[in-house]
């Protein structure tokens, strides 16, 4: 029995081979690796209607403006979310302001840390439910979603430690008399957190952790394409004892609820992860009250592979830097710059590696790759694949939407283009899908030049056995984070951020906390 809901959104039927066997009598492919939902996840997904959570209460029960949400693996309807309005945002901001100015403001650092550690335990104990909700709602394979658990728990631990690490300074001054001077750090106030759809379960903690560590409050606006894991997480926070109003969620469209949040004069700071186009709009909207901003925007990251690299590691590493999460990662290494002498071999080896990857539904425990998020997103990816061919790139493998048992889902084959030049559309624009562009280079200087020939500056990597060459590239590439001989792992103790049109503001380290705080200078005349 399919656990995803009774209604299937009509979709095209295409021929094509799939690695999943169909089971006669079922309306979805199944085999012995397909995981049935646990009772808690099944009960939650059985609600079929989800509304804003404001001041600890689900609202919008009478709303008629609803957005249908789908399982991207199957096209099945998961139910409806309430399309939040500007009035809902206003109510959530008022609740957050009341909480910020109420008893929450009197919590000590030790109490906030203890709260975070209670949340750590609660998330740890209930993570399987959250993982299954996430994999059903946005299609990320369940093994990858489960693999995110350690990162989420480490992130909560990091912010719990930071709750005790907020400090000012005592400073000298040149004033006459007996004047002491110091600075103190104080919470900014109400935060607006706009969370993307490409991994909301983990993304939300960059905001939630900082809010709870500093004593701020927050209104979250998750993406309408994938918000169920966030709604359930916030329910869990309240189950663990978080006071009402500290964390609020308003579901809905970015053009309505997101815009209202960005423009609301009662919001002191916006944390946003998403497209550069939307980021520009948020910057403009922030002028209403000069909001502080943290923006993680688009990317077109270079992954540079020298001829002396260990290809047994570089091939799968570079491939998964593109294909993980079906290419839906902001800092995905989609421009793969390969030294010309090994470019042909590299392309052949990547194509062979792709054949070892299993594409499957979000709840397929053996799947490496899942669907993209929506029908609109797969149309976008397929349009770029078509453009790549027209502009002269050589299709090495992939390039098609999957049919057969996958026809009603949003699956596209991992796609590799070789003989790409950096002026081609597929090398310039962020696709946000499983599409690799292999660009040849002849020298480290050329690789650096090509790597920097983009408006973005979010991620990048270099693969080589020569540490001097590696550091030359690391120092030469203008980007927020670089990896050497691996790709994509981050830790809040080190953090990352963007430059150029990939945004600004740190994620991780004490610099992250600083943007949720403001500095107050204090002068004391000792009389």
Pairwise CA distance, residues 82 & 249, whole Å: 11
Pairwise CA distance, residues 376 & 371, whole Å: 12
Pairwise CA distance, residues 147 & 140, whole Å: 11
Read off the tokens for 80: 């409806």
DSSP 436-482: EEEEEESSHHHHHHHHH-SSEES--EEE-S-HHHHHHHHHHS-SS--
Burial class (CB in 10 A: 0-12, 13-18, 19+), 86: middle
Query: C-alpha distances in angstroms, 226 versus 138, 272, 362?
Result: 6, 16, 13
- How crowded is the C-beta side of 475, counted as CA atoms within 13 Å? 7
Active site residues: 296, 330
Buried b or exposed e, range 494-526, using 16+ CB within 10 angstroms: ebbbbebbbbbbbbbbeebbbbbbeeeeeeeee
Domain 39-296 has what CATH class?
alpha beta
Contact 438, 351 (CB under 8 A): no
Per-residue pLDDT of the chain (527 residues; tens, 9 = 90+): 233 233 334 343 333 333 332 222 233 333 445 689 999 999 999 999 999 999 999 998 778 899 999 999 999 999 999 999 999 999 999 999 999 999 999 999 999 999 999 999 999 999 999 999 999 999 999 999 999 999 999 999 999 999 999 999 999 999 999 999 999 999 999 999 999 999 999 999 999 999 999 999 999 999 999 999 999 999 999 999 999 999 999 999 999 999 999 999 999 999 999 999 999 999 999 999 999 999 999 999 999 999 999 999 999 999 999 999 999 999 999 999 999 999 999 999 999 999 999 999 999 999 999 999 999 999 999 999 999 999 999 999 999 999 999 999 999 999 999 999 999 999 999 999 999 999 999 999 999 999 999 999 999 999 999 999 999 999 999 999 999 999 999 999 999 999 999 999 999 999 999 999 999 999 999 98
Contact 95, 247 (CB under 8 A): no
Nearest to 204 by CA among 181, 222, 183: 222
Domain with CATH 3.40.605.10 in the chain: 39-296
Nearest to 148 by CA among 325, 364, 372: 325
User: Quick one: 302-491 is in which CATH superfamily?
Assistant: Aldehyde Dehydrogenase; Chain A, domain 2 (3.40.309.10)
- How crowded is the C-beta side of 342, counted as CA atoms within 13 Å? 20
Domain with CATH 3.40.309.10 in the chain: 302-491
Contact 503, 481 (CB under 8 A): no
Contact 53, 235 (CB under 8 A): yes
Angle between helical axes of 142-162 and 200-214 (0-180°, round to 10): 10
Pairwise CA distance, residues 262 & 270, whole Å: 7
DSSP 200-249: HHHHHHHHHHHHHHHT-EEEEEE-TTS-HHHHHHHHHHHHTTPPTTSEEE
Which residues are CB-contacts of 143 (< 8 A; sequence separation ≥ 6)? Answer: 365, 366, 367
């Amino acid at each position: 029995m399919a656990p995803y809901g009774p209604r299937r959104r009509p979709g095209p039927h295409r021929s094509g081979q799939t690695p999943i066997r169909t089971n006669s009598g079922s309306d979805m492919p199944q085999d012995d690796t397909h995981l049935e939902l646990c009772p808690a996840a099944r009960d939650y997904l059985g609600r079929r209607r989800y509304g804003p959570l404001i001041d600890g209460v689900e609202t919008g029960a009478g709303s008629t403006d609803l957005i249908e949400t789908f399982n991207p693996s199957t096209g099945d309807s998961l139910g409806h979310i309430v399309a939040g309005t500007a009035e809902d945002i206003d109510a959530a901001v008022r609740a957050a302001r009341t909480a910020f100015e109420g008893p929450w403001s009197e919590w000590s650092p030790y109490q906030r840390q203890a709260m975070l550690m209670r949340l750590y335990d609660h998330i740890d104990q209930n993570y399987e439910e959250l993982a299954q909700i996430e994999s059903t709602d946005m299609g990320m394979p369940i093994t990858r979603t489960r693999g995110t658990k350690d990162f989420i728990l480490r992130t909560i631990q990091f912010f719990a430690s930071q709750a005790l690490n907020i400090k000012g300074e005592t400073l000298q001054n040149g004033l006459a008399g007996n004047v002491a001077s110091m600075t103190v750090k104080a919470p900014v106030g109400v935060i607006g957190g706009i969370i993307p759809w490409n991994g909301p379960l983990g993304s939300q903690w960059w905001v939630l952790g900082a809010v709870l560590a500093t004593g701020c409050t927050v209104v979250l606006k998750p993406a309408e394409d994938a918000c169920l894991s966030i709604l359930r997480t916030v329910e869990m926070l309240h189950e663990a004892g978080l006071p009402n109003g500290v964390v609020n969620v308003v579901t809905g469209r970015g053009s309505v609820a997101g815009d209202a949040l960005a423009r609301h004069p009662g919001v002191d700071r916006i944390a946003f992860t998403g497209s550069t186009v939307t980021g520009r709009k948020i910057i403009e909207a922030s002028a209403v009250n000069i909001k502080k901003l943290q923006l993680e925007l688009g990317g077109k990251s270079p992954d540079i592979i020298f001829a002396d690299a260990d290809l047994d590691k570089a091939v799968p590493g570079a491939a998964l830097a593109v294909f993980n999460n079906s290419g839906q990662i902001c800092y995905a290494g989609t421009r793969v710059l390969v030294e010309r002498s090994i470019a042909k071999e590299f392309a052949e080896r990547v194509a062979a590696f792709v054949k070892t990857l299993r594409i499957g539904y979000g709840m397929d425990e053996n799947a490496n790759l899942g669907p993209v998020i929506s029908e609109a997103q797969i149309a976008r990816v397929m349009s770029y694949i078509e453009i790549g061919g027209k502009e002269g790139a050589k299709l090495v493998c992939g390039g098609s939407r999957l049919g057969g048992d996958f026809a009603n889902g949003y699956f596209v084959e991992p796609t590799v283009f070789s003989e790409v030049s950096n002026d081609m559309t597929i090398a310039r624009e962020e696709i946000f899908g499983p599409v690799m562009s292999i660009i040849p280079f002849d020298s480290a200087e050329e690789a650096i030049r090509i790597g920097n020939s983009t408006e973005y500056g979010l991620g990048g990597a270099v693969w080589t056995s020569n540490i001097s060459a590696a550091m030359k590239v690391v120092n030469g590439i203008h980007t927020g984070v670089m990896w050497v001989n691996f790709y994509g792992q981050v830790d809040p103790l080190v953090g990352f951020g963007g430059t150029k049109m990939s945004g600004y503001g740190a994620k991780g380290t004490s610099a992250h906390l600083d943007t949720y705080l403001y500095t107050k200078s204090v002068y004391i005349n000792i009389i």
